[in-house]
Amino acid sequence: MKWYVFLLLFLPSAALSQPLVNYVDPLIGTGPATTPGALKHSESASENKGQTIPSVGRPFAMTQWTPETRTTELKCIAPYYYTDTLITGFRGTHWLNGSCTQDYGSVTLMPFTSALPDSVRSAPVSGFRHSDEVATPYKYTVILEDYSIKAEISGSTRCGIMRFIYPGNNVSCLQIRVNSDEKEGRIWYDERKNKIFCYNPVHRIYQGHGKTAGFSGYFVIEFSHPFRLISAGKDKQSLVISFGGRKEIVTRIGSSFTDLVAAAANLEAEINGWDPDLVAEETKNEWEKTLSKIMVSGGSKDDMVKFYTALYHCYQAPRIASDFKGTYQGFADDTLIHIAEGFVYYDDFTMWDTFRALHPLLNILEPSATTDMVKSLIAKAQQGGWMPVFPLWGSYTSAMIGDHAGAMIAETFLKGNEDFDIETAY
């Protein structure tokens, strides 16, 4: 069965004279909420904010890439807020867009310059202007005012690529940091291979708050030019490296939830060159293809921006959690590495929020991905013992009441997406 979506607002067709991806504004939702409902309902300071981030990467990306203005992974603190005035780096993130949950298994890179890099002790930060920001689903660019550095970030499904253009009047430096609030992350380097390796253990909130989730975010970081180690944090959470007087450095980062070998394999499969523009163009094309599944006409430009930004947000989660070769970390207490046979494994289902509208929409726009999501839920039930209600970070959360997974699975089947074992699901 095929579904076709046409939304006609009876407005001039000239509104579609540019690529649909140009209507997406990833900065929407990163500032304070101003709706009457948001102003009346505020459980904490975070409830006054949209809690989105200007992430780049492919639809349903395992790891997204975002500017960072907050260095923590604590609950309800997004990596980026529009009202903040300092950038603390560029993060490979697993933040659940628009939520009040937590980031997890993340890593941050922060470029800076120094006349005396050997004396670097504190974490570098920089002021920035929103007028110097360019945020799209496929590329984010900003000028770091304190260092006159132009930073560009882009990403694929499981990997990221960054380009830092230094002024050349000082030593070009880079800090790499794992964002482990528990100080359990580790980072090390191999100058001979020109690589940095790190992992950041994931911890749970809600059910089992504070306990380990049984896996980590793993990263393999490679550079376009040789680096020299300047300093290593005593807690093994960060490194500072330098590239001498080089004016342009490209770094590519592979990520995985299983191990460093898989992170390296994901990088080889998705970004095996050093051209950030090529990666950005490929990701742009993927977003254009995705957004064009719903064509609208008419309305003002603001209407188009609101609509296609909302559609972009629909593709931030659930996230792909299996590697390029299909391996993924077992669910809950299952510590084994599994292989998704014939499907892509997904995680981070905020089912209480999404069973009403997001999953019904994805059933129409993304029937294949939706079937894979159902297969992922079945795998979680088989490995964990029962069907999860609200599975996040590879764990049960028991967040909210009800059986939202059951509603989502039943609807998927009734809409004709039947390529899964309905008896096992039942």
| SS3 annotation, 365-400 | HCHHHHHHHHHHHHHHHHHHCCCCCCCECCECCCCC
Looking at the fold, whether 270 and 363 belong to one and the same domain comes out as no
Q: Which of 229-243, 252-266, 357-371 has the lowest mean pLDDT?
A: 229-243
- Residue 128 has a pLDDT of 99
Helix axes 404-414, 367-384, angle to 10 degrees: 140
Please check whether residue 298 lies inside any domain of the structure.
no
Residue with tokens 């939830």: 257
- Residue 43 has a pLDDT of 55
Amino acid in the structure at residue 43: E
Please check whether residue 410 lies inside any domain of the structure.
yes
Please check whether residue 251 lies inside any domain of the structure.
yes
Looking at the fold, whether 261 and 329 belong to one and the same domain comes out as no
pLDDT digits (tens, 9 = 90+) for 125-160: 999 999 999 999 999 999 999 999 999 999 999 999
Q: Which two tokens stand for residue 219?
A: 């990263």
- Residue 9 has a pLDDT of 39
What is the tally of structural domains in the chain? Answer: 2
Dist CA 185 CA 176 (whole Å): 12
At residue 47, does pLDDT exceed 80? Answer: no
Q: Which two tokens stand for residue 109?
A: 């890179």
Dist CA 238 CA 221 (whole Å): 13
Looking at the fold, whether 379 and 265 belong to one and the same domain comes out as no
Please check whether residue 313 lies inside any domain of the structure.
no
Question: Could you tell me the pLDDT band of residue 312, with boundaries at 50, 70 and 90?
Answer: very high
Question: Could you tell me the pLDDT band of residue 42, with boundaries at 50, 70 and 90?
Answer: low
- Name which of 265, 321, 361 is nearest 7 in CA terms: 361
Spatial neighbors of 286 by CB under 8 A, at least 6 apart, are: 58, 59, 138
Looking at the fold, whether 264 and 351 belong to one and the same domain comes out as no
Residue 307 DSSP one-character state = H
At residue 13, does pLDDT exceed 50? Answer: no
At residue 44, does pLDDT exceed 60? Answer: no
- Residue 402 has a pLDDT of 83
Dihedral over Cα of 223, 229, 230, 233: its sign: positive
CATH number at residue 369: 1.20.1050.60
DSSP one-letter string for 136-202:
-SS-EEEEETTTTEEEEEEE-SSEEEEEEE--SSSEEEEEEEE--TTS--EEEEETTTTEEEEEEEE
Within 13 Å of residue 180, how many CA atoms lie on the same side as its CB?
22
Is 95:51 a contact under the CB 8 Å cutoff?
no
At residue 314, does pLDDT exceed 80? Answer: yes
Is 257:325 a contact under the CB 8 Å cutoff?
no
CATH number at residue 257: 2.70.98.10
At residue 48, does pLDDT exceed 50? Answer: yes
Share of residues in the chain with pLDDT > 90 (%)? 82
- Residue 206 has a pLDDT of 85
pLDDT digits (tens, 9 = 90+) for 389-416: 899 999 999 878 888 999 999 999 999 9
Q: What is the mean pLDDT of residues 63-71?
A: 98
Q: How far is CA 380 from CA 282, 387, 406, in A?
A: 32, 7, 13
Share of residues in the chain with pLDDT > 70 (%)? 92
Looking at the fold, whether 266 and 328 belong to one and the same domain comes out as no
- Residue 32 has a pLDDT of 87
Backbone angles phi, psi at 425, to 5 degrees: -60, -40
Looking at the fold, whether 278 and 323 belong to one and the same domain comes out as no
Looking at the fold, whether 279 and 140 belong to one and the same domain comes out as yes
Q: What is the mean pLDDT of residues 273-300?
A: 97
Amino acid in the structure at residue 69: T
Dist CA 64 CA 320 (whole Å): 11
At residue 120, does pLDDT exceed 60? Answer: no
Looking at the fold, whether 269 and 376 belong to one and the same domain comes out as no
Rounded to a whole number, what is the distance in angstroms from the first to the last CA of the chain? 23
- Residue 401 has a pLDDT of 82
Q: What is the mean pLDDT of the chain?
A: 92
Looking at the fold, whether 55 and 156 belong to one and the same domain comes out as yes
Please check whether residue 355 lies inside any domain of the structure.
yes
Question: Could you tell me the pLDDT band of residue 16, with boundaries at 50, 70 and 90?
Answer: low
Residue with tokens 């960072």: 68
In terms of Cβ atoms closer than 10 Å to its own Cβ (0-12, 13-18, 19+), residue 78 is: buried
Q: Which of 2-16, 213-227, 305-319 has the lowest mean pLDDT?
A: 2-16
CA 300 to chain centre: 30
H or E segment to which residue 336 belongs: none
Q: Tell which of 241, 275, 291 closes a domain.
A: 291
Please check whether residue 5 lies inside any domain of the structure.
no
- Name which of 238, 184, 187 is nearest 210 in CA terms: 184
Spatial neighbors of 356 by CB under 8 A, at least 6 apart, are: none
Q: Tell which of 291, 307, 341 closes a domain.
A: 291
Looking at the fold, whether 200 and 65 belong to one and the same domain comes out as yes
Please check whether residue 189 lies inside any domain of the structure.
yes
Please check whether residue 72 lies inside any domain of the structure.
yes
Spatial neighbors of 136 by CB under 8 A, at least 6 apart, are: 21, 22, 24, 26, 56, 284
Range of the domain at 378: 318-425
- Residue 7 has a pLDDT of 46
Looking at the fold, whether 281 and 327 belong to one and the same domain comes out as no
pTM: 0.94
In terms of Cβ atoms closer than 10 Å to its own Cβ (0-12, 13-18, 19+), residue 382 is: middle
Cα angle, residue 416 at apex, residues 414 and 420 outer, rounded to 5°: 90
Looking at the fold, whether 284 and 325 belong to one and the same domain comes out as no
